[in-house]
């Protein structure tokens, strides 16, 4: 629990020794949204605290401090490695005077293909090279070695960096210290402050979810099963998990489809109804289903925005917090086949609580800030604030690799790893080592 949380408007100086959250629109935020994560909430100089029937409401005092939010007159660098990165960043990049995408030097080609589809230009990121001259940089994650190295080069060039929360269920525990390397963080919703300890955050939401509205349910029930076991977990756990879910779905006589993450390595030989997933495909897959069954995954929360009931099936008791500790009453949780069967039966009769409530502190606002809308504009305003007041937002808690040990780790990640990835057995050894860290 945060002791004291200061709510700021763009341009307000963060108070020393106190956590700060920057509001980036003119919406009124009920105090109850913040007291779920902080014992005391204080309005900064640019934020009003108004009295309402339901209690105090906070809002930015002066609209001019927000700008118009439609365009950003700045050159912004975007670091991308996957199609999900592009899907998230493209709505922001289109509204910048100049946007330069730098692609991960050793990754699948989904980011390049997606940028070509979006008709956005890009160049390859070269570790150790000078970054293009820009006012600010944005990443969807900041903890891998290539991203940390990019942030370090930005810092040397005087380019402030922001990391955007890529999913509601980011695991902030311990190494690799997710969202702790960039200068400041853009969070999906106030919910993130339960787990992320940063001096300064911007309340933005996720642009990838803009435009989401609850889809009409299909005429016939269809269970969508989310297969997203990566880093070698597919061979260890994936097939057992899939087999358990399929067995219970078939026991109830329900139709099903399996959506398989592009970097999932589960052997699904002989399993029917398997379809490839991807950032540009899952929205249609969710619209076609009546319920989602998932392990720990951002797709669980994306399904809620589509108005679909979500079942979190966790027979392995995963270490990640967000879904295990979810108290939104929106997710059905179970860890046994019998529990899964009961959840499937319940999901058939209990519709999802779709977003759209007017209550500012309802569960969707806590998780997503403004469900399905406004995130790209708020991210633009966060970038504008970082570009306009870089000294005011220069935090002291951003991490940085230093010393011989850091140089050795960087060599292993940026030089050795690409070599190992090209040799099948060595690639599996690398994945096993990562899982043991």
pLDDT at 313: 98
pLDDT 10s digits, 52-97 = 888 899 999 988 888 766 789 999 999 999 999 999 999 999 999 9
In order of 159, 250, 343, the CA distances from 136 in angstroms are 5, 51, 46
Q: Identify the weakest region by mean pLDDT among 102-106, 122-126, 186-190, 277-281.
A: 102-106
**Beta-sheet strand order (sheet of 255-260):** 274-276, 255-260, 222-227, 291-294, 310-313, 331-334
User: For residue 105, how many C-alpha atoms fall within 13 Å in the half-sphere facing its CB?
Assistant: 17
Selected residue with higher pLDDT from 288 and 412: 288
Specify the pLDDT at position 128.
Answer: 87
Residues 409-429 have pLDDT tens digits of 666 666 666 666 666 666 666
Q: What is the dihedral of CA 320, 322, 324, 327, to 10 degrees?
A: 170
The confidence score (pLDDT) of residue 266 equals 92
Calpha distance 327→345 (Å, rounded): 21
Range with the poorest average pLDDT among 7-16, 364-373, 401-410:
401-410
Residue 154 burial class via C-beta count within 10 angstroms: exposed 0-12, middle 13-18, buried 19 and up: buried
- Residue 419 CB neighbours (<10 A): 12
pLDDT score, position 175: 87
Give the relative orientation of helices 239-251 and 337-349 as an angle to the nearest 10 degrees. 50
| SS3 of residue 389 by DSSP | coil
Considering only CA atoms, which of 10, 5, 7, 57 is closest in space to residue 31?
57
Q: Could you tell me the two tokens for 216?
A: 């009409």
Give residue 65's pLDDT: 80
Domain parsing of the chain, residue ranges: 1-211+359-401, 222-349, 406-436
Look up residue 77 and give its two tokens: 């660098």
Mean pLDDT of the chain: 89
Cβ of 123: how many Cβ atoms within 10 Å?
10
Separation of alpha carbons 139 and 148, rounded Å: 10
pLDDT band at 351 (very low <50, low <70, confident <90, very high): low
Q: Output the CA angle 425-426-430, nearest 5 degrees.
A: 120
In this chain, the answer to whether the domains covering 1-211+359-401 and 222-349 adopt an identical fold is yes
Q: Do 82 and 107 form a contact (C-beta atoms < 8 A)?
A: yes
State pLDDT tens for residues 379-391: 999 999 999 999 9
Fold classification of 222-349 is Rossmann fold (3.40.50)
In order of 242, 327, 367, the CA distances from 322 in angstroms are 22, 9, 11
**Do the beta carbons of residue 186 and residue 202 sit within 8 Å?**
yes
User: Which range is least confidently modeled, 55-69, 189-203, 273-287, 408-422?
Assistant: 408-422
Question: Among positive and negative, which fits the CA dihedral 397, 412, 141, 183?
Answer: positive
Tokens representing 188?
A: 């999906």
Average pLDDT (172-194) is 95
Residue 207: name the closest of 327, 300, 95, 121 by CA.
95
Range of 166-175, 179-188, 313-322, 326-335 with top mean pLDDT? 179-188
Alpha-carbon gap, residue 188 to 389, rounded angstroms: 22
Q: Extract long-range pairs of 118-121: CB within 8 Å, 24+ residues apart.
A: 118/86, 118/90, 120/86, 120/90, 120/93, 120/94
Q: Evaluate if residue 219 carries a pLDDT over 80.
A: yes
- pLDDT of 255 above 90: yes
Q: Rounded CA gap, 216 and 290, in Å? A: 9
* Cα dihedral: 217, 218, 222, 224 (round 10): -60
Quick one: 65 exposed, middle or buried, by C-beta within 10 A (0-12, 13-18, 19+)? middle
Higher per-residue confidence, 232 vs 181? 181
What pLDDT does 424 receive?
62
CATH 3.40.50.2000 fits 1-211+359-401, yes or no: yes
The mean pLDDT value for 258-267 works out to 92
Angle (CA) 177-7-329 rounded to 5° is 65
Element housing 103 (H / E) = strand 96-103
| Residue 420: how many other CB atoms lie within 10 Å | 17
CA distance 332 to 185: 30
Other beta carbons less than 10 A from residue 231's beta carbon: 14
**Six-digit token pair at 400?**
């940085």
DSSP state of 259: E
> What is the distance between the alpha carbons of residues 164 and 202, in angstroms, rounded to a whole number?
9
pLDDT tens per residue across span 10-55: 999 999 889 999 999 999 999 999 999 999 999 999 999 998 888 8
The CA–CA distances, whole Å, from 353 to 36, 128, 309, 310, 325 equal 20, 49, 8, 11, 18
Predicted local confidence at residue 420, as pLDDT: 63
Compute the average pLDDT of residues 294-302: 95
- Supply the pLDDT for residue 403: 73
- Confidence at residue 187, expressed as pLDDT on a 0 to 100 scale: 98
Q: Which of 151, 160, 134 is nearest to 75 (CA)?
A: 134
270 has a pLDDT exceeding 50: yes
- Of 126-130, 322-326, 353-357, the one with minimum mean pLDDT is 353-357
């Amino acid at each position: 629990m945060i002791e004291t949380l200061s709510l700021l408007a763009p341009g307000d100086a963060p108070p020393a020794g106190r956590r700060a959250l920057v509001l980036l629109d003119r919406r009124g935020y009920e105090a109850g949204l913040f007291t779920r994560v902080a014992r005391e909430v204080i309005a900064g100089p640019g934020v009003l605290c108004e009295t309402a029937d339901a209690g105090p409401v906070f809002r930015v005092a002066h609209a001019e401090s927000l700008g118009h939010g439609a365009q950003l007159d700045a050159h912004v660098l975007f670091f991308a490695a996957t199609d999900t990165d592009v899907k998230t960043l493209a709505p922001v990049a289109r509204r910048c005077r100049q946007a330069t995408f730098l692609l991960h030097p050793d990754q699948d080609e989904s980011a390049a293909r997606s940028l070509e589809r979006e008709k956005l230009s890009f160049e390859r990121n070269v570790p150790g090279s000078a970054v293009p001259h820009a006012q600010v940089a944005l990443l969807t994650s900041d903890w891998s070695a290539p991203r940390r190295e990019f942030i370090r080069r930005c810092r040397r060039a005087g380019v402030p960096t922001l990391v955007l929360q890529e999913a509601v269920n980011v695991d902030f525990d311990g190494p690799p210290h997710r969202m702790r390397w960039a200068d400041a963080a853009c969070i999906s919703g106030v919910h993130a402050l339960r787990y992320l300890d940063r001096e300064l955050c911007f309340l933005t939401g996720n642009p990838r979810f803009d435009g989401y509205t609850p889809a009409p349910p299909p005429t016939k029930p269809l269970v969508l099963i989310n297969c997203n076991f990566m880093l070698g977990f597919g061979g260890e756990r994936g097939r057992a998990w899939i087999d358990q879910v399929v067995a219970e779905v078939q026991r109830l006589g329900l139709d099903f489809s399996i959506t398989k993450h592009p970097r999932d390595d589960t052997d699904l030989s002989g399993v029917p109804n398997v379809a490839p997933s991807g950032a540009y495909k899952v929205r249609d897959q969710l619209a076609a289903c009546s319920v989602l069954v998932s392990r720990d995954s951002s797709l669980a929360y994306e399904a809620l925005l589509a108005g679909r009931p979500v079942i979190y099936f966790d027979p392995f008791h995963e270490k990640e917090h967000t879904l295990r500790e979810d108290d939104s009453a929106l997710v059905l949780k179970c860890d046994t086949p019998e529990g899964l069967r009961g959840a499937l039966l319940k999901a058939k009769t209990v519709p999802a609580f779709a977003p759209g409530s007017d209550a500012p502190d309802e569960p969707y606002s806590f998780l997503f800030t403004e469900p399905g809308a406004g995130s790209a504009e708020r991210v633009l305003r966060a970038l504008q604030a970082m570009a306009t007041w870089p000294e005011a937002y220069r935090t002291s808690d951003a991490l940085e690799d230093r010393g011989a040990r850091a140089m050795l780790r960087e060599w292993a990640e940026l030089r050795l790893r690409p070599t190992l990835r090209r040799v099948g057995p060595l690639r599996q050894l690398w994945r096993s080592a990562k899982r043991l860290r």
